[in-house]
């Protein structure tokens, strides 16, 4: 196996999309460390053209939350939310939100698709492939392949099959959890971003 190399796409908007997928993958795989919190916080206010967009608004709130969040607390919060013996407070696996039963079927299909894309889970990873962070990494990879129609179609297909119908339930579960604080802002931003993605992947 060769480690995956990510190249930033040339189209600035796709570069931004890849960046957001990378960030969300990181934040949903484990709690942020101090350096990551600091960098998110340092981005400051984003104005998005003439009118304030839901995405910019959600980002600004996430940045504000990152500025006052301590890394240790964020890590603890991540563990309490997404990791648990038995059932986690919020499960980070997409197939749970896609179907109540038949998770194995979804996983088998996903594994087949990953093989087709030349992707595989690394030896160090123990999480099943439908972990949200893993799916976001796949999107990031697909975005890095280019902005041509064929590349966009791949993105659209993968997004539709695994993310489009799982992110609302996932983000909603985080928003409703009493254990969530910083991650409420992460979920809010993720929701805003994926709503944009849902629309953007239809318009090409």
Size of the site for another protein (CB under 8 A): 66
Q: Does 39 bind another protein (CB under 8 A)?
A: yes
Q: How many CA atoms lie within 13 A of 104 on its CB side?
A: 0
Which of 101, 97, 154 is CA-nearest to residue 130?
97
Which of 134, 199, 188, 140 is CA-nearest to residue 164?
199
Considering beta carbons, is residue 140 or 184 the nearer one to another protein? Answer: 140
Q: Does 145 bind another protein (CB under 8 A)?
A: no
CA dist 55 and 24 (Å) reads 14
Sign, CA dihedral 98-103-109-111, equals positive
For the chain, the distance separating the N- and C-terminal CA atoms, rounded to the nearest angstrom, is: 34
List 65, 133, 173, 174, residue binding another protein (CB under 8 A)? 133
List 152, 173, 186, 190, residue binding another protein (CB under 8 A)? 152
Encoded one letter per residue, x for contact with another protein by CB under 8 A and - for no contact, window 72-111 reads: ----------------------------------------
CA dist 10 and 146 (Å) reads 8
Q: Does 30 bind another protein (CB under 8 A)?
A: yes
Decide if 82 contacts 72 (C-beta within 8 A): no
List 72, 97, 103, 137, residue binding another protein (CB under 8 A)? 137
Residues forming contacts to another protein in the complex (CB under 8 A) are 1-8, 11-13, 15-20, 22-23, 25-26, 29-30, 33, 35-36, 38-40, 42-43, 46-49, 53-56, 59, 63, 114-115, 118-122, 124-125, 127, 131, 133-134, 137-138, 140-141, 147, 149, 152, 196, 199-200, 203-204
């Amino acid at each position: 196996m060769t480690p995956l190399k990510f190249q930033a796409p040339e189209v600035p908007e796709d570069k931004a999309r890849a960046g957001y997928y990378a960030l969300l993958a990181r934040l949903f795989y484990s709690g942020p460390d101090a350096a990551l919190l600091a960098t998110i916080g340092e981005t400051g206010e984003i104005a998005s053209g003439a009118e304030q967009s839901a995405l910019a608004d959600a980002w600004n709130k996430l940045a504000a939350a990152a500025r006052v969040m301590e890394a240790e607390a964020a890590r603890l919060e991540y563990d309490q939310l997404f990791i648990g013996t038995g059932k986690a407070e919020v499960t980070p696996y997409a197939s749970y939100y896609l179907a109540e039963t038949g998770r194995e079927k979804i996983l088998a299909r996903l594994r087949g698709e990953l093989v087709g894309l030349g992707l595989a889970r690394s030896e160090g990873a123990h999480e099943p492939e439908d972990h949200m962070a893993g799916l976001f990494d796949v999107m990031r990879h697909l975005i890095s392949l280019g902005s041509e129609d064929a590349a966009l179609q791949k993105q659209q297909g993968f997004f539709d099959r695994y993310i489009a119908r799982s992110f609302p339930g996932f983000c909603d579960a985080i928003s409703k959890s009493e254990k969530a604080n910083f991650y409420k802002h992460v979920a809010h931003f993720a929701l805003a971003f994926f709503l944009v993605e849902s629309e953007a992947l239809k318009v090409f």
